[in-house]
Structure 1
Amino acid sequence: MAILVDLDVQLARRNLSVGAFAEAVGITPANIAVLKNGRAKAVRFTTPDAICRTLGCQPGDLLRWVPDDDTDNPRA
């Protein structure tokens, strides 16, 4: 997949645990893990809205596009 989710980066910057973040956003920790691990196949717009509202960030802070040939190195 060429769209990567940098939610773990945002949580680390704010020193937030997944559990505390999930509770603040109103999403289960399992769904947060799906987003963090890049296993999400679809996302409703209400989800990044709630995440950005909670973290005080922009959607571009959470998502980034990487060309397919670079997905083996997701942090490239």
Structure 2
Amino acid sequence: MLSPLNPARDLRISGQVTYTGTSSMEVTVKMESIGNGIPVETVMIGRFSMVCRNGATHRASKVNPLIISTPEERV
């Protein structure tokens, strides 16, 4: 945790895919504390690795590639 949670403020959770491999992906999730006239504050960031598997064969299954279309997304 980057800062303590305040029960008087709302939480906003957002996420995006940040990396894709052949059968895996990394998703980054950010939790922010908002409201009560106080500036938005990031309270938690998590990175999750996920692997795609075929339900019938239990073998790796391909995921769609991450398409980077702007210079901002390259960072």
TM value normalised by structure 1? 0.22
> Hey, which of these two has a bigger chunk of helix by percent?
1
> Hey, which of these two has a bigger chunk of strand by percent?
2
Structure number, greater radius of gyration = 2
Structure of higher RCO (CA pairs closer than 8 Å, 6+ residues apart): 1
